[in-house]
Amino acid sequence: MEPISQPTAAGASSAPHPCYSEQAHRHFARLHLAVAPACNIQCHYCNRKYDCSNESRPGVVSELLTPEQATQKALAVGAAIPHLAVVGVAGPGDPLANPERVFATFRELAAKAPDLSLCISTNGLALPQQVEELVKYRIGHVTITINCVDPDIGARIYPWIFWNHRRVRGRQAAEILIAQQQKGLEMLVTRGVLVKVNSVLIPGINDEHLHEVHRVVKARGAFLHNIMPLIARPEHGTYYGLTGQAEPTAEQVRALRDACASDSGGTGMMSHCQQCRADAVGIVGQDRGAEFTLDKVAAMQVDWRAALAKRATVRAAIERRMALHSQIAHPAQPMPLLARRSRPNASETLRMAVASNDGHNVDAHFGSAREFLIFDISPVGAKLVERRNIDRYCNGPTTCGDAAPALAGAIAALSDCTVLLCARIGFEPWRALEDAGISPNSEHAREPIIDALLTVYAEWRDSGRRAAEATSTCLCA
Partner 1 sequence: MAFRIVASCINCWACPPLCLSGAIRPAVPHFRIDAARCTECAGDYADPQCASICPVEGAIVDSAGEPLNPPGSLIDLSPGSLMKAVRGMENPSEPSVLEARILREHLVGRDFRLACQAQVLGDVTVRPA
Contacts with partner 1, residue ranges (CB under 8 A): 37-40, 42, 44, 48-50, 64, 93, 97-98, 100-101, 159-160, 162, 165-167, 234-235, 237-239, 242-244, 399-401
DSSP secondary structure letter of residue 448:
B
Provide, rounded to whole angstroms, the least separation between the CB of residue 241 and partner 1: 8
CB atoms within 10 A of CB 234: 11
Of 165 and 305, the one with the shorter C-beta distance to partner 1 is 165
Single-letter amino acid, residue 307: A
For partner 1, the closer of residues 166 and 446 by Cβ is 166
**229 Rama sector, left if φ>0, alpha if ψ -120 to 50, beta otherwise:** beta
In the complex with partner 1, which residue's Cβ is closer, 22 or 94?
94
Answer yes or no: are the C-beta atoms of 372 and 354 closer than 8 Å: yes
| 16 or 59: CB nearest partner 1 | 59
**Closer by beta carbon to partner 1, 41 or else 270:** 41
- Residue 239 CB, shortest distance to partner 1, in Å, is 5
Minimum CB distance to partner 1, residue 88 (Å): 19
Please state the closest distance from residue 187 (CB atom) to partner 1, in A: 24
Classify residue 310 as exposed, middle or buried by CB count within 10 Å of its CB (0-12, 13-18, 19+). Answer: middle
Whichever of 245 and 357 has its CB closer to partner 1, that residue is: 245
At its nearest, how many Å lie between partner 1 and the CB of residue 354? 32
Provide the phi-psi class of 117: left if phi over 0, else alpha when psi is between -120 and 50, else beta: beta
Neighbouring residues of 103: CB distance < 8 A, sequence distance ≥ 6 = 133, 137
DSSP 247: P
Whose Cβ is closer to partner 1: residue 237's or residue 336's? 237
Q: How far is the CB of 166 from partner 1 (least distance, A)?
A: 6
Residues 304, 402: Cα–Cα separation, whole Å: 44
Write down the number of H helices and E strands in the chain.
Answer: 15, 15
Q: Which of 444, 380, 426, 398 is nearest to 53 (CA)?
A: 398
Instruction: Work out how close the CB of 93 gets to partner 1 at its nearest, in angstroms, rounded to a whole number.
Output: 6
83 three-class SS: coil
C-beta separation of 85 from 15 below 8 A: yes
> Residue 170: phi, psi to the nearest 5?
65, -145
